[in-house]
Amino acid sequence: MNSAATHHFAPQEVMSFVDGELTAAESQAAAAHIADCPECSVIADEFRATSQRLAQWQANEAPARLADAVQRSATHAAERNSGRQPAPFTFAKLRRPKVWMYASGGALACTLLVLALPFVLPRHLDRTSAFIAGEGNGRLQSGAGVAGAGLENRQPIQAAIAGAEMDRPSPAPPVSASQPAPMIERSVTMVIVVRNIAASRTALDSMLARHHGYAAQITVYTPERDASSIEASLRIPVPELTAALADLRALGRVSNESQSGEDVTQQHADLEQRLKTARDTEERFRTILQQRTGKVSDVLEVEEAIARVRGEIESMEAEQKNLEHRVEYATISLTLSETPKANFSTEDAASGSRMRNALATGYRNTVGTVAGIVVFLIEFGPSILIWMAIVVLPAFLLWRRYRSIRARL
């Protein structure tokens, strides 16, 4: 603010003084200065003259009906304000930001809920069913194991059938009168969860030695970041089976166990029968060879037949042996898995290579993304430009026109 000592007030300050915008002290100083300064005095007069010229542009009297209409709404509003009438709903209320905020918030919440439902519900159901399945298995013994015991009950039926076959006139030589004991091929499947695979392996080996069994096949899995496991196919002599199974169960927590027995008595009997027949046939051929010495071709024929029969006999004998072995030795299909233990050690030998792999993947992704963008632009760029020309340009021109009209109003 200029003090009275300076020669000039700025013209704007003179204007402020004329408009009464200065403080009392400033006003006084300005008035005093203007009184003495002809230039500032002229400026002040010019401002006042301009204001007076402007005042010549007068407005009409406001129409009377304006007053009535407003009076009426005022009365209604006063009634509402004093609480006698509730405020009516107007569409103007919809323009308030709060309404839109709540509406959009609600819509957003509903949308999210609808989108999330398919993900939430099935997982919930899956977990429930998994829970039911998991808990039950550990304590179940499959029906087959129980049925194995029930096979003994079939013996009388077997005997009856065999007896019936004995009575039936058959082209084969009569079957032996003595009924063989039922031959059951036993197999057991077990899944056990153990604490330590290595210790269990040792225990397994000692168990096999104890029970005079052997392992037909063992596979050990030791993945890097997952639980180790063993899959084994064991053979245990049937008399030792129960004890062996008890030993196995002691290894850990049995999560799955099933036993089955296949009755191969008939199979065996059939084999026996065929063998006998074949042997008899062979015998007869040999007798023929010995007794009748005929033409060379006849002899050769007989020898060929003998060889064929011998081959059949030998294969049948092997099959019989196999069958007998399978009856003598039960098969245990064992799966041992370790309770998964998370690895505490952060010193992962692979983390260095993981970083490197991540870098490589990241670089590939970047290149891929950039290439994708470029490809997109090349593929769609021209079309986008055309659409922009068709749509955006006219809209822009209209907008410009709107602005210019608005400015002129």
Partner 1 sequence: MGDATIAFNLKSRSTGAGSMYDSMANRPGTPGSDEQLMLAFSQGAAEAFDELFSRYRRPIFGFFWRRVADAGRAEELTQDTFTAVIRASAHYRADALFRTYLYAIAFKVLRAYRRRAAFRATFLGESPSHHDPPAQGDFETGAMVRDAVKKLDPVDREILLLREFEQLAYAEISVLLALPLNTVRSRLFRARTALRNLLASPEPGSAPGKQEERR
Q: Which residues bind partner 1 (CB under 8 A)?
A: 11-12, 15-21, 27, 31-32, 34-35, 44, 46-51, 53-63, 66-67, 69-71, 73-75, 77-84, 87, 90, 92, 398, 401-409
Residue 100 backbone dihedrals phi, psi, to 5 degrees: -65, -35
Which residues are within 8 A (CB) of 170 and not within 5 positions of it... i.e. 6 or more apart? none
Residue 59 or 120: which CB sits closer to partner 1?
59
Report the nearest approach of partner 1 to the CB of residue 104 (Å). 23
Report the nearest approach of partner 1 to the CB of residue 55 (Å). 4
Measured at the CA of 169, the angle between CA 167 and CA 171, to 5 degrees, comes to 135
**Can you say whether the dihedral through the CA atoms of 348, 353, 359, 360 is positive or negative?**
negative
Report the nearest approach of partner 1 to the CB of residue 101 (Å). 18
β-bridge mates for residue 188, sequence order: 259, 332
Residue 75 or 315: which CB sits closer to partner 1?
75
Residue 21 or 314: which CB sits closer to partner 1?
21
Residue 44 or 269: which CB sits closer to partner 1?
44
Which residues are within 8 A (CB) of 76 and not within 5 positions of it... i.e. 6 or more apart? 85
Report the nearest approach of partner 1 to the CB of residue 387 (Å). 21
Residue 50 or 339: which CB sits closer to partner 1?
50
Give Rg (Cα) of the chain: 53
Nearest to 248 by CA among 200, 209, 197, 199: 200
| CA dist., res. 15 & res. 21, Å (int) | 9
Report the nearest approach of partner 1 to the CB of residue 98 (Å). 13
Residue 215 backbone dihedrals phi, psi, to 5 degrees: -100, 120
Report the nearest approach of partner 1 to the CB of residue 46 (Å). 6
Residue 77 or 250: which CB sits closer to partner 1?
77
H helix or E strand, kind and range, residue 390: none
Nearest to 190 by CA among 239, 222, 227, 231: 231
Residue 48 or 292: which CB sits closer to partner 1?
48
Can you spell out the DSSP letters for 297-355? HHHHHHHHHHHHHHHHHHHHHHHHHHHHHHHHEEEEEEEEEEPP--------TTHHHHH
| CA dist., res. 20 & res. 16, Å (int) | 6
Residue 214 or 402: which CB sits closer to partner 1?
402
Report the nearest approach of partner 1 to the CB of residue 392 (Å). 16
β-bridge mates for residue 190, sequence order: 257, 334
User: CB-side exposure of 23: number of CA atoms within 13 Å?
Assistant: 4
Residue 96 or 225: which CB sits closer to partner 1?
96
Report the nearest approach of partner 1 to the CB of residue 105 (Å). 23
Residue 113 or 398: which CB sits closer to partner 1?
398
Report the nearest approach of partner 1 to the CB of residue 5 (Å). 18
Residue 327 burial (10 A CB sphere; 0-12, 13-18, 19+): buried
Report the nearest approach of partner 1 to the CB of residue 12 (Å). 5
Nearest to 193 by CA among 337, 67, 317, 319: 337
Amino acid of residue 364: R
